[in-house]
Structure 1
Amino acid sequence: MIKTRLMKLLKGSERYIAQNVLWQWLALLFQIAAIFAAGTFLQSMMMEHSDTVLFLRTALIVFCAFLVRFFCERMAAISSGKASADIKPVLRRQIYEKLLRIGASYNQKIPTSEVVQVTTEGVEQLEIYYGKYLPQLFYSLLAPVTLFVILCPISWKASLVLLICVPLIPVSIVAVQKFAKKLLNKYWGIYTELGDSFLENLQGLTTLKIYQADGRKADEMDLEAERFRKITMKVLTMQLNSVSVMDIVAYGGAAIGMIVTILEYGNGAVDFAGAFTMILLASEFFIPLRLLGSFFHIAMNGMSASDKIFRILDMAEEADGTQSLTDGPISVGHFLRTVHTCYPFLFS
């Protein structure tokens, strides 16, 4: 799920997203190399063909692979931070400049509390969208294809079964997308209403004290806070249920691939090293999409906030005047006559 208008805000951050995907892909390749080397060594031990040289070579490959994988994961994290670093100040600057153009009357169109909430927490939610969700989306498409191409020569049946089961996770994500969007829009609506009430009551606290209405307003805020708590619990319940479904699909698909691999090994179609590699890498078909599903709910929250951000940016602005002052000096007498004409009560 990609929002076109959010993508237009990247302005050069695309390279960091591409770097993030590249580092994750390289880490996957070295992980495959380490597992295949370990499987080959274990097969040699079973066949009593292992020696010290093979052991040292395998240990060196595994050690180097883990070092490179650690380096790649660190670089991917750095690229993730850079991908979202420029977005927050850009959005906040655009909102600030928009409010300046509208003028002090902006609060007649949108509550001040909503502006504060959107420019703080709302913008922060988009950090996950740019830094985590988008790179993971592209990597989730690349990783299963890469694994299928590499593992297909070992066992095309098991590889094909794993590849076929992979799309079940996006199907489960799409199934909850419509419900999640409605729920998150409702969540942000209640959240901004609560903030608006809090700010209004805080600004008018003196007046409430004078008329002894502060207790009634406190009770009203308690009801609004309880309403917000309930919608928050609904959001968390939806996310946990969705994660449970994705876990069942992911681990179930990996288990099916492992069973097919074991059957292939029992029939002699796959050797021990190949079966070992297939079993350990079966979950890697699903882990990227499983992680994408976790980021999806946070990204949905950010996208719901972005709707409110774009609503502020799309607010109509007052047109500038078409007349300008005439050149030349303005006399004091002319100024006084103009004031007398417009405001005669000042001279009564």
Structure 2
Amino acid sequence: MHLEPRLWAFTKGLRGRIAYAVAIGLVAVGLGVARLALLGWLIAQVFAGAALADLVLSVVIVAVVMVLRGWFEQWRAMVAHETAARVQKRLRRALFEKLCDLGPAYAGVQRSGDVTLTMIDGVEQLETYFGKYLPQLLVSLLTPLLIFVFVAFLDLPVAAVLLTFALIALFAPAAWQKRDWRNAKDRQGAYGDFAAELLDSIQGLATLKAFGRSRERAAVLAEKADYLFRTTMWVLGTNTLSRGITDTAIAVGAAAALALGAYRVEAGAMDLAALLMILMMGVEIFRPMRDLRTVLHEGMVGLSAAQGLYRLFDATPPVADAPPRAVATLAPGIAFEGVTFA
């Protein structure tokens, strides 16, 4: 879980759209929880012996909530991705202006593969950061409070248990964030080196064949590719560990809430309908944290790709332009001085 200040600066003027997407996401979370709570309430009515005619309205309400939830989720995704596209457009414009300021002297000493990877792939990978990771991070930060408020109406002790494990699922993976970040950065460096070597090899293919150095160059590419593979596996390994922490907190939290609810029903402190609603909600109530876990890896890859953008933005021109000189005001006119004819 990480918010990059330098990337956040590019969202200036679009933060209202990000807040809009987060608000839609919170409504979708509320509808998802309401759907499961209504299903639990419907089952409680069946256990109470309600007639089939009395259940029709409840079934219709559940169906409407399910449709609304899907519509809000699609709406949030469209708003978030459109916002990401606008930020990417702003990034590309800033990169172009920076390259123009750096001039041809800078591009001449850089490897074309590395610059191409930064300009194209680096910006494309940030689509996930702005379109998925950033909105989902903000939704996940606000969801535990929403869970507590909703479940507190059913039972306060159970709500406290769910809030505790929701916070654990949200913040516990941060213990591995530094290692995940380091592995993602190493992987991005290996990716840039491999891309640069591959593009240089393709551009110099005729020269390699002419001098009989194709096998040696292939061995270099194989070594770079193997290192890229190993760094990618390390990124996936640390990310899987973070996912395991989140999944464990979600599963234990749902089981603990259900066990506490069953105990309170047995003690007469909570009715069966509330327990059935908690049972139906289960791990689904932690869905935003699970969704954040899904996009966390892509978000970290996007952040590591941003390091290449930072290097470009922080570069200084190898040859500084001369300061503009003031030009005296000249009156328009044509004069012939010292003109002779043979």
Cα gap change, 1:72/1:202 in structure 2, threshold over 3 Å: closer, same or farther?
A: same
Q: Which residue does the alignment assign to 1:256? A: 256
1:34-61 deviation per Cα after TM superposition (whole angstroms, max 9, x unaligned): 334333343333333x235531221121
Q: Which moved more, 1:105-114 or 1:287-296?
A: 105-114
What SS is found at the alignment partner of 2:316?
A: coil
Aligned-pair CA distance for 1:21: 1.9
Cα gap change, 1:58/1:107 in structure 2, threshold over 3 Å: closer, same or farther?
A: same
Cα gap change, 1:29/1:294 in structure 2, threshold over 3 Å: closer, same or farther?
A: closer
Q: After superposition, where does 1:174-323 map in structure 2 within 5 Å?
A: 174-317=174-317, 318-322=319-323
In 1, Cα distance between equivalents of 2:71 and 2:140: 20
In 2, Cα distance between equivalents of 1:275 and 1:42: 11
2:194·2:224 contact (CA, 8 Å) conserved in 1?
A: yes
1:174-208 deviation per Cα after TM superposition (whole angstroms, max 9, x unaligned): 11111011111111111111122122222333332
Aligned-pair CA distance for 1:303: 0.9
Aligned length: 328
Q: Which residue does the alignment assign to 2:77? A: 77
Cα gap change, 1:158/1:201 in structure 2, threshold over 3 Å: closer, same or farther?
A: same
Q: Which residue does the alignment assign to 1:86? A: 86
1:92-137 deviation per Cα after TM superposition (whole angstroms, max 9, x unaligned): 2222222122221123553221111112221111111111111111
Cα gap change, 1:225/1:4 in structure 2, threshold over 3 Å: closer, same or farther?
A: same
Aligned-pair CA distance for 1:72: 0.9
Aligned-pair CA distance for 1:326: 7.2
In 2, Cα distance between equivalents of 1:196 and 1:249: 42
Q: Which residue does the alignment assign to 1:7? A: 8
Cα gap change, 1:43/1:201 in structure 2, threshold over 3 Å: closer, same or farther?
A: closer
Equivalent residue letter for 2:17: Y
Equivalent residue letter for 1:299: G
Equivalent residue letter for 2:121: E
TM-score, normalised relative to structure 2:
0.88
In 1, Cα distance between equivalents of 2:86 and 2:185: 26
Q: Which residue does the alignment assign to 1:26? A: 27
Cα gap change, 1:321/1:35 in structure 2, threshold over 3 Å: closer, same or farther?
A: closer
In 2, Cα distance between equivalents of 1:94 and 1:41: 55
In 1, Cα distance between equivalents of 2:68 and 2:61: 10
What SS is found at the alignment partner of 2:153?
A: coil
Equivalent residue letter for 1:112: S
1:162·1:257 contact (CA, 8 Å) conserved in 2?
A: yes
Q: After superposition, where does 1:80-119 map in structure 2 within 5 Å?
A: 80-108=80-108, 110-119=110-119
Aligned-pair CA distance for 1:323: 6.5
Q: Which residue does the alignment assign to 1:137? A: 137
Q: Which residue does the alignment assign to 1:333? A: none
What SS is found at the alignment partner of 1:306?
A: helix
Q: Which moved more, 1:200-209 or 1:97-106?
A: 200-209
What SS is found at the alignment partner of 1:174?
A: helix
Q: Aligned residues: percent identity?
A: 27
Cα gap change, 1:215/1:40 in structure 2, threshold over 3 Å: closer, same or farther?
A: closer
Q: Which moved more, 1:80-89 or 1:26-35?
A: 26-35
